[in-house]
Amino acid sequence: MSIPAPPDAAELVALLDWYRAAGVDIAVGEEPVDRFAASLPARRASVPASAAPAVPPQVAVSLSSDPGETRAIAAAAGTLEALRAAMDAYDGCLLKKRATQLVFADGNPEASIMLVGEGPGEQEDLQGKPFVGRAGQLLDRMLGAIGLDRSRVYIANMVPWRPPGNRDPSPEELALCAPFLIRQVELVAPKFLVTLGNVPTKALFQTTNGITRMRGQWRDLVVGSHAVRALATLHPAYLLRTPASKALAWSDMLSLRQALDAAG
């Protein structure tokens, strides 16, 4: 049997590109671990041989710590700086272990408009700021189209650490991190809140309705102890994938502009 030649540099780069396209974009250890093989004996032992079906491999999931703990930590923070420091020190969310850094917020803490996204992506994780990748650039253009920029808004995410491979945050991760976001809303105390996409809309509007039903409608919400006028719109990442929906987002942006003008 002939031994295959080791891959050359171009093949290794192509392999890394392939991993990246598949969402495998961070290394979590120096050595590869075959978790399928590692979990096999335990699964075999727990199931009678006769009844052993083809069990799908167990994949490590994020832990869910206690949202009571994050609520207490968030409540104790009297300023945004204190909240940022407390979140940075908090180790109860596994997302943090896989992320490069905390992505706290961007923009103006004095702003009357707060935008809330889902969670950091790759660029946000690297740069430590929300919405700095392609979706963020589109968001900047959307804001620019109605005369706004980051000095006029405050931007944060439902989860402040990047979910690996850009997956959606799990319900447990959302529940765990929500007190941090809610406390940011209380401390910034915006007049207007704009949720970007499904995840923050469902969480903050407390609805199971999807974004296509919710977008474009203003609601009065109470987030923590803060009452705010809230509008849901489409996530810029969705608009990048579905440019035909940009007209809907544009109408939402115009609605925001009108509300700002009416508020004076």
Does 120 interact with ligand URA (rule: CB under 6 A)? yes
Encoded one letter per residue, x for contact with ligand URA by CB under 6 A and - for no contact, window 204-223 reads --------------------
C-alpha–C-alpha distance, residues 258 and 264, integer Å = 10
Does 173 interact with ligand URA (rule: CB under 6 A)? no
Does 130 interact with ligand URA (rule: CB under 6 A)? yes
Token couple for 56: 């799908």
C-alpha–C-alpha distance, residues 193 and 214, integer Å = 14
- Name, in order, each residue with C-beta under 8 angstroms of 63's C-beta and a sequence gap of 6 or more: 92, 93, 94, 172
* Piece in contact with ligand URA (CB under 6 A), picked from 77-85, 119-127, 206-214, 240-248: 119-127
Minimal distance, residue 189 CB to ligand URA, in Å: 21
Does 169 interact with ligand URA (rule: CB under 6 A)? no
Torsion sign across C-alpha atoms 94, 95, 98, 101? negative
Phi/psi-derived region of residue 218, left when phi > 0, alpha when psi is between -120 and 50, beta in every other case? beta
Minimal distance, residue 48 CB to ligand URA, in Å: 45
C-alpha–C-alpha distance, residues 47 and 217, integer Å = 51
Helix (H) or strand (E) holding 230: strand 226-233
* Piece in contact with ligand URA (CB under 6 A), picked from 4-12, 40-48, 120-128, 185-193: 120-128
Please identify, using beta-carbon distances, which residue of 90 and 131 lies nearer to ligand URA. 131
Report the 10 Å Cβ neighbour count for 114. Answer: 28
How many H-runs (helices) and E-runs (strands) does the chain carry?
12, 6
Minimal distance, residue 214 CB to ligand URA, in Å: 16
Minimal distance, residue 264 CB to ligand URA, in Å: 30
* Piece in contact with ligand URA (CB under 6 A), picked from 51-59, 89-97, 132-140, 180-188: 132-140
Encoded one letter per residue, x for contact with ligand URA by CB under 6 A and - for no contact, window 223-252 reads --------------x---------------
- Angle, CA of 137, 140 and 145, to the nearest 5°: 130
Options 70, 157, 184, 201; binder of ligand URA; rule CB under 6 A: 157
Q: Cβ distance 205 to 233 under 8 Å?
A: no
Options 77, 87, 135, 230; binder of ligand URA; rule CB under 6 A: 135
Residues found near ligand URA in the complex (CB under 6 A): 117-121, 124, 130-131, 133, 135-136, 157, 237
